[in-house]
């Protein structure tokens, strides 16, 4: 169950990169958008008290808007000044990183004697079972008596898993069955043909990056609401955005595939700690496995061409 929990932020950034990739854009800025989502979750989760159900929904909406606008700015730079989104989003990643450090170090945010923000309110948390419930007699008794609920009680499992699955389904439906999705895919297949067909290419690029950035930011907000509960200067930059690029490549930019690719990636990445403790093997082996897997998948489209060339030589 913990592997599924760990796969949620990786799958969300993978969905963000994959959605932009299906429309011909390379969103390298998922890391920065993810960080902004964490900041939004921590700030709104603590400083904006609301009822239990509305509070997480409001945080998700705020995070989606912040991440979408941040990624949309990169699309605007591409449309207005022809600045490639790879360059602009990489720069925006660093802006988000240092902005996070600035926020955490603010006297009104930073907890005295620590390097993190205050813990979000209980109304903003989206776990199935609160962490304090695990240590209570009732929680331990329920964990022992119910094998089905035991994984949910002993881990940080929560509604983030459901939200991630719904997000993947919605993105797939948008790309597959809506006019917007058709236009976005058309731009991704051939930008010039889409322009010749009088499609609003620039508007679609802006919309694609807005949705992509919003999804990545929601992933960051859900990490705060379900696992970390606050932001720190070091813990916020765990590379989930970069992992999302690998997940999108493994899934061939398919939204549903990102769910399974994120699960595989999380099992390999976080399973490395278990391998290190039990087999005394270096965790770098996992990175080698992940890199080899991504490389093989990236080379897959070129294999038929290579086979044709070999046949011609023979």
Q: Are 249 and 298 in contact (CB under 8 A)?
A: yes
Burial tier of 220 (Cβ tally within 10 Å: 0-12, 13-18, 19+):
buried
The answer to whether position 299 is within a domain reads: no
What b/e string do you get for 178-211 counting C-beta neighbours within 10 Å, with b at 16 or more? eeebebbbbbbeebeebeeeebebeebbbbbbbb
With pLDDT > 70 as the criterion, what percentage of the chain qualifies?
88
d(CA 311, CA 296) in angstroms, rounded, equals 22
Task: Give the model's pLDDT for residue 64.
Answer: 96
In a domain, residue 231? The reply is yes
Tens of pLDDT, residue by residue over 195-205, are 777 778 888 88
SS3 (DSSP) at 249:
helix
Q: How far apart are CA 155 and CA 128, in angstroms?
A: 9
**What CA–CA distance (Å, rounded) separates 182 from 175?**
6
**If we measure between CA atoms, which residue out of 31, 52, 153 comes closest to residue 96?**
31
Number of structural domains the chain divides into: 1
How crowded is residue 290: how many other Cβ atoms within 10 Å of its Cβ?
Answer: 18
Residue 142 has pLDDT above 70, yes or no: no
* Nearest residue to 200 via CA among 18, 208, 71: 208
pTM to 2 decimal places: 0.88
305, part of any domain: no
Tell me the pLDDT tens digit for each residue of 89-110.
Answer: 999 999 999 999 898 888 888 8
Three-state secondary structure call for residue 260: helix
d(CA 165, CA 77): 32
Find the domain containing 109 and state its range: 2-281
What is the predicted pLDDT for the residue at 258? 92
| pLDDT for position 143 | 66
Query: What are the residues whose beta carbons fall under 8 Å from the beta carbon of 121, sequence distance 6 or more?
Result: 45, 46, 49, 55
Residue 296 belongs to a domain: no
Average pLDDT over residues 167-175: 93
Distance from C-alpha of 21 to C-alpha of 69, rounded to nearest angstrom? 18
pLDDT of residue 252: 85
Query: If you ran DSSP here, which 8-state letter would residue 227 be given?
Result: I
What's the first-to-final CA gap in the chain, in angstroms?
52
**Is 220 inside a domain boundary?**
yes
Give CA–CA dist 164/48, Å, rounded: 24
Distance between CA 28 and CA 72 in Å, rounded?
13
Tell me which residue of 76, 34, 25, 7 sits closest to 221, measured CA to CA.
34
Which CATH number characterizes residue 81's domain? 1.10.3470
- Does residue 41 register a pLDDT over 80? yes
- Rounded-to-integer distance, Cα 92 and Cα 78, Å: 14
Mean pLDDT of 10-24: 91
Yes or no: say if 99 and 65 are a contact pair by the CB < 8 Å rule: no
């Amino acid at each position: 169950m913990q592997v599924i929990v760990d796969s949620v932020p990786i799958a969300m950034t993978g969905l963000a990169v994959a959605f932009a990739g299906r429309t011909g854009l390379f969103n390298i800025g998922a890391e920065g958008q993810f960080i902004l989502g964490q900041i939004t979750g921590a700030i709104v989760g603590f400083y904006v008290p609301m009822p239990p159900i509305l509070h997480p929904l409001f945080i998700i909406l705020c995070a989606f808007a912040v991440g979408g606008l941040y990624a949309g700015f990169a699309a605007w730079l591409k449309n207005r000044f022809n600045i490639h989104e790879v360059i602009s989003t990489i720069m925006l990643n660093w802006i988000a990183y240092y902005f996070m450090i600035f926020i955490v170090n603010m006297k009104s945010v930073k907890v005295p004697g620590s390097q993190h923000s205050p813990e979000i309110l209980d109304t903003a948390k989206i776990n199935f079972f609160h962490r304090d419930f695990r240590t209570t007699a009732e929680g331990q008794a329920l964990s022992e008596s119910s094998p089905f609920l035991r994984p949910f009680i002993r881990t940080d499992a929560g509604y983030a898993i459901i939200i991630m699955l719904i997000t993947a389904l919605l993105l797939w439906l948008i790309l597959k069955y809506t006019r917007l999705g058709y236009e976005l895919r058309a731009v991704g297949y051939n930008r010039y043909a889409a322009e010749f067909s009088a499609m609003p290419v620039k508007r679609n690029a802006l919309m694609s990056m807005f949705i992509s950035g919003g999804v990545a930011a929601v992933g960051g907000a859900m990490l705060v609401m379900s696992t970390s509960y606050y932001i720190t200067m070091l813990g916020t930059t765990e590379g989930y955005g970069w992992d999302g690029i690998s997940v999108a490549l493994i899934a061939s930019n398919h939204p549903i595939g990102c769910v399974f690719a994120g699960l595989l990636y999380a099992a390999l990445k976080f399973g490395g700690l278990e391998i290190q403790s039990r087999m005394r093997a270096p965790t770098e082996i996992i990175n080698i496995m992940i890199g080899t897997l991504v490389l093989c998948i990236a080379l897959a489209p070129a294999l038929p061409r290579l086979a044709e060339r070999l046949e011609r030589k023979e």
